[in-house]
Amino acid sequence: MAKNRFNQSWLHDHINDPYVKMAQRDGYRARAAYKLKEIDEQDKLIRPGQVIVDLGAAPGSWSQYARNKLAASKNRVDGGIDGTIIALDLLPMDPVADVHFIQGDFRDDEVLGRLEEVLGERQVDLVLSDMAPNLSGVAVADAARVEHICDLALEFSQRHLKPEGALLVKCFHGSGYSQIVEKFKHQFKIVAPRKPKASRDKSSETFILGKNLKNPG
């Protein structure tokens, strides 16, 4: 019974969520687009001409937002975007216009090879990661999973980011959070937490932004 009440409560909140309604109105696949929008408007992360990599991109709302931002900045009438967006995920993702999608694990050499094919000689301006592990409810195990995902994004950024590039990752307050922040501070000159209004109040979800690599790879 408790589980049913929880499901009904979640469904009620979801149906009445203003960001869900906005996503439906604006054509975004998930309300998460507005989390990135808020952070982008605060920190001016997405700019014309950039190379952007979206890790754990499915269902694609962050890629959609980035694509719309780069399309709006393009001063031509033939469509397209001013920049490059590459999305990666283990899961399949419906196509997003002008976004290169690579399905697979970005730790695999084959997947990295496909990414490097699209990049050519270019380094990345911005790495986005809205990845989250399947949480078990066991605090210590979940903290380790979250930290592992953040570590993967940090390693990827160390290899591929421009010296002045930025990394934005989803994280969760709780056990292990301070260790993740310390890892960011070791790698980036500027580190800041972000809690957009679109992130539900009940959620411990937060985002960490790192800018300007200390020791570019």
Q: Which residues are annotated as a binding site?
A: 60, 62, 89, 105, 130
Active site residue 185: no
Cite the beta strand spans of 42-160 per DSSP E: 50-55, 83-89, 99-103, 124-129
User: Do 147 and 140 form a contact (C-beta atoms < 8 A)?
Assistant: no
Residues contributing to the annotated binding site for S-adenosyl-L-methionine: 60, 62, 89, 105, 130
Measured CA to CA, the distance from residue 57 to residue 23 in angstroms comes to 16
- Residue of 35, 37, 69, 170 marked active site: 170
In the numeric block, which tokens belong to residue 154? 């940090």
3-class SS string, 31-47: CCHHHHHHHHHHHCCCC
What are the catalytic residues?
170
